[in-house]
Amino acid sequence: MITEYAYAKINLALEVMDVKDGYHMVNNLMVPIDLYDELTFEESNKIELINNEFEDNIILKAAKLFIERYHINKGVKITLKKNIPSAAGLAGGSSDGAAALRGLNKMFDNVATHDEMLEMAAILGSDVPFFIDSEIALCTNRGEVVNKLDVKPFVFDILLIKPETGLSTKEVYKNYIYEKVDKSEKIKNIINAIKYCDIFSLKKNIFNDLTKTALNLSTELNLIYQDLENRTEIYLSGSGPTMFLIKPDDKIVDYIKNKYKNCFVKKCKIKK
């Protein structure tokens, strides 16, 4: 049996620009966190996914793509243990898809090269290539071009807060209006903050261009965000609705856990 871990991510920078060929161009600085789904793989006479909550699951798409591409005459049984909340802006689905490709490649004697893995990942979705290696990177174009950073992220605590109501990534991008403000300097500042372990500068420069749109689309998210913004620095991950705090103190953690009992609230760390 083979086991793969599909790590979630947060965005330290998400610059969203004009649409090209039907996709928004982005500069997306992502870092993995130590919250993960667990996938196990066993040979089978068909392609099947155990504990599947969705009809159109990216794990099944990945398995079919891999097995058809390499003309494999066997199937696979994949068991999914889901820990990352869905429709959360943490890219759990994209990470699952990449983990499925990695697990299948191990199962079938590493038949795919690293470049081929990235190519298949890009077919599955814009964020999937990042999770082939799950290392801090600036992802560009529509998000599928992975530019690994020559820095190692320092480990710090984060607190995730996800409201009950999810948000559609498609809907958030559809309603987003590009304000044509260049964010390259902020991205440089974030990379330098990571390089020099400067938590103050990191907090000051983190940004997400989708925040305003996501807040406008979700009353629940907006109410929680405004409440917490008055108390501490708060950031949105991806297209939302998950928010995160960096190095939160015990007082604010207790406040959130007591006030927002219906939210998914979890303390995590940046993945080493």
CB 87 within 8 A of CB 53: no
Among residues 37, 127, 209, 271, which one is catalytic? 127
Give the fold, CATH level 3, of 2-148: Ribosomal Protein S5; domain 2 (3.30.230)
Query: What Å distances lie between residue 164 and 84, 126, 192, 224, CA to CA?
Result: 14, 25, 35, 11
Catalytic residue status for 37: no
Q: How far apart are CA 258 and CA 256, in angstroms?
A: 5
Q: Is 9 a catalytic residue?
A: yes
Domain ranges in the chain? 2-148, 157-269
- Summarize pLDDT for 209-263 with one digit per residue, the tens: 999 999 999 999 999 999 999 999 999 999 999 999 999 999 999 999 999 999 9
Phi-psi region of 249 (alpha: psi -120 to 50; beta: other; left: phi over 0): beta
- Going from the C-alpha of 33 to that of each of 28, 123, 215, 233, the distances in angstroms are 16, 24, 24, 19
Show pLDDT as tens, one digit a residue, over the chain (272 residues). Answer: 899 999 999 999 999 999 998 899 999 999 999 999 999 999 999 999 997 776 569 999 999 999 999 999 999 999 999 999 988 999 999 999 999 999 999 999 999 999 999 999 999 999 999 999 999 999 999 999 999 999 988 999 999 999 998 899 999 999 999 999 999 999 999 999 999 999 999 999 999 999 999 999 999 999 999 999 999 999 999 999 999 999 999 999 999 999 999 999 999 999 98
> Phi then psi for 199, rounded to 5 degrees?
-70, -30
In the numeric block, the tokens 């409201």 are attached to 163
Mean pLDDT of the chain: 95
Q: Per the omega criterion (within 30 degrees of 0), is the bond before 241 cis?
A: yes
157-269 fold: Alpha-Beta Plaits (3.30.70)
Instruction: Point out which residues pair with 2 in neighbouring strands.
Output: 41
